[in-house]
């Protein structure tokens, strides 16, 4: 059975982050099943194994080691902490680290981070999109002068990711940025919201994950902070974050990772028809097409497309090695027709990666909770290259000097 491409699945279905980890994993796994139901990648079936990480870095590393030995070619850790740890190991193992919508933002620079792929967006993209949305609401960036924005963030590397970008923006437009860390897991935020009440910021940017999100929204409600003025990162903008606040979360905004909840998409219909109706669905049917489910599916799709791209070059219908898949991920070219064929029409925009750009796209939208579901409330927003690029370059360069890496030359990019 050498005709199977092995995909490791690091997921968390127990513990504090399970409510958010489960739908993502369901989407991820369902998509892999869908690929198989559609006949595999040019005939190569996908095999996969799940490993429970509990959103714990050490356990993620163990999972990585275990699944690696089964022939993994890329891995998606679904945790910024684990991404940091695995980033150090992956090059030696020739395994790509695909972090769709998270991870280290500077890893978009493929010339330094050869094995990292924050495809479709990093936290800097998310933060910039939020700033743009806020600016639009205010009527332009120049209106931000003198305004106050508070960042309520998960006190971890994940939560700190947007800070450099927001600081940059604050310096540019003259608003003040207050940082309010929340100790993980974030069940106690009274003091934080008292401070919000004291400062009366014009906007609150919420950088949370897990229970921290719903708690924050509830505290906002309890202290009377208008939810309309809250903007969450895309990990704070899914159903589990607002479901049990329901009415109380009405008006709350979050940036989306291109997609939002997409129950009407073709992909969902395909999954229903070819996976769930065959009795092979992974989670409850009602949740298919919700935000995190879609994110899981999209993440899986990007990985699978990396394999497909590799096959185009190294031989269709063959099982790809880690290095080959890396090449594929680096040369993704998901055009609109391709996306349509995969069922992602309307869900996302085209993505194309390159040696220099491992991210491939920097688009996002805002969606808003209307009390029962997420609704898009903005146009497509693109993160500002002018700001993003230099930030990525300098941070990546710093990493390279620290690690004594020489950035890849254009020649190296050919391999």
Ligand X SMILES: CC(C)C[C@H](N)C(=O)O
Residue numbers of the site for ligand X (CB under 6 A)?
Answer: 78-81, 102, 158, 209, 235
Handedness of CA 68, 34, 209, 18 (dihedral sign): negative
Tell me how far, at minimum, the Cβ of 153 lies from other proteins, in Å.
Answer: 10
The residue (of 285 and 403) whose beta carbon lies closer to other proteins is: 403
Tokens of 135: 């600016």
Those residues with Cβ within 8 angstroms of residue 365's Cβ, 6 or more apart along the chain or in another chain: 129, 255, 256, 258, 260, 376, 378, 379, 380, 381
Q: Which does 303 bind (CB under 5 to 8 A by kind): ligand X, other proteins, none?
A: none
The residue (of 121 and 310) whose beta carbon lies closer to ligand X is: 121
Q: Which does 243 bind (CB under 5 to 8 A by kind): other proteins, ligand X, none?
A: other proteins
The residue (of 102 and 374) whose beta carbon lies closer to ligand X is: 102
Q: How far apart are CA 318 and CA 336, in angstroms?
A: 26
Tell me how far, at minimum, the Cβ of 201 lies from other proteins, in Å.
Answer: 13
The residue (of 80 and 258) whose beta carbon lies closer to ligand X is: 80
Tell me how far, at minimum, the Cβ of 158 lies from ligand X, in Å.
Answer: 4
Tell me how far, at minimum, the Cβ of 394 lies from other proteins, in Å.
Answer: 11
The residue (of 57 and 362) whose beta carbon lies closer to other proteins is: 57
The residue (of 353 and 395) whose beta carbon lies closer to other proteins is: 395
Q: Which does 209 bind (CB under 5 to 8 A by kind): ligand X, other proteins, none?
A: ligand X
The residue (of 209 and 327) whose beta carbon lies closer to ligand X is: 209
Tell me how far, at minimum, the Cβ of 230 lies from ligand X, in Å.
Answer: 17
Longest CA span, the chain: 64
Q: Which does 403 bind (CB under 5 to 8 A by kind): ligand X, other proteins, none?
A: other proteins
Let me know how long the chain is: 415
Q: How far apart are CA 381 and CA 365, in angstroms?
A: 6
Q: Which does 102 bind (CB under 5 to 8 A by kind): ligand X, other proteins, none?
A: ligand X
Distances (CA, A) of 349 to 131, 157, 332: 21, 28, 13
In 3D space, the residue among 206, 276, 277, 287 whose CA is nearest the CA of residue 239 turns out to be: 287
Tell me how far, at minimum, the Cβ of 220 lies from other proteins, in Å.
Answer: 10
Q: Which does 395 bind (CB under 5 to 8 A by kind): ligand X, other proteins, none?
A: other proteins
Tell me how far, at minimum, the Cβ of 143 lies from ligand X, in Å.
Answer: 31
- Tell me the β-bridge partners of 181: 153
In 3D space, the residue among 342, 332, 316 whose CA is nearest the CA of residue 5 turns out to be: 316
Those residues with Cβ within 8 angstroms of residue 52's Cβ, 6 or more apart along the chain or in another chain: 11, 12, 13, 14, 59, 63
Q: How far apart are CA 130 and CA 381, in angstroms?
A: 9
């Amino acid at each position: 059975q050498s005709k199977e491409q092995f995909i490791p699945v690091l997921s968390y279905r127990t513990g504090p982050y399970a409510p958010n980890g489960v739908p993502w994993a369901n989407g991820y796994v369902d998509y892999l099943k869908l690929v198989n139901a559609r006949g595999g990648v040019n005939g190569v079936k996908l095999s996969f194994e799940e490993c429970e990480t509990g959103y714990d870095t050490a356990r993620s590393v163990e999972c990585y080691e275990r699944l690696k030995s089964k022939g993994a070619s890329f891995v998606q850790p679904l945790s910024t902490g684990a991404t940091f740890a695995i980033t150090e190991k992956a090059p030696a193992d020739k395994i790509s680290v695909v972090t769709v919508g998270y991870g280290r933002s500077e890893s978009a620079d493929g010339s330094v981070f050869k094995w990292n792929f924050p495809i479709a967006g990093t936290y800097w993209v998310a933060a910039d999109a939020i700033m743009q949305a806020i600016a639009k609401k205010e009527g332009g960036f120049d209106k931000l002068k003198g305004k106050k924005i508070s960042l309520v963030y998960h006190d971890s590397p994940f939560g700190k990711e947007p800070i450099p970008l927001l600081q940059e923006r604050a310096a540019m437009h003259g608003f003040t940025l207050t940082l309010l860390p929340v100790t993980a897991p974030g069940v106690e935020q009274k003091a934080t919201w008292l401070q919000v009440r004291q400062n009366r910021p014009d906007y609150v940017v919420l950088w949370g994950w897990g229970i921290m999100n719903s708690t924050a929204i509830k505290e906002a409600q309890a202290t009377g902070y208008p939810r309309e003025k809250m903007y969450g990162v895309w990990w704070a903008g899914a159903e589990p974050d607002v479901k049990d606040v329901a009415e109380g979360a009405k008006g709350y905004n979050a940036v989306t990772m291109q997609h939002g909840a997409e129950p009407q998409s073709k992909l969902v219909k395909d999954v229903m028809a070819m996976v769930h109706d065959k009795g092979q669905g992974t989670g409850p049917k009602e949740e298919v097409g919700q935000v995190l489910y879609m994110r899981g599916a999209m993440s899986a799709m990007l990985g699978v497309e990396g394999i497909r791209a590799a096959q185009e070059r190294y031989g269709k219908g063959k099982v790809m090695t880690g290095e080959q898949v890396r090449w594929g991920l680096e040369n993704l070219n998901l055009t609109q027709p391709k996306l349509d064929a995969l069922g992602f029409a309307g869900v996302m925009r085209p993505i194309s990666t390159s040696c220099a750009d491992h991210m491939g796209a920097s688009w996002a939208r805002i969606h808003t909770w209307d009390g029962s579901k997420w609704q898009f409330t903005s146009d497509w927003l693109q993160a500002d290259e002018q700001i993003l690029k230099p930030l990525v370059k300098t941070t990546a360069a710093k990493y390279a000097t620290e690690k004594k890496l020489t950035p890849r030359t254009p020649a190296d990019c050919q391999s």
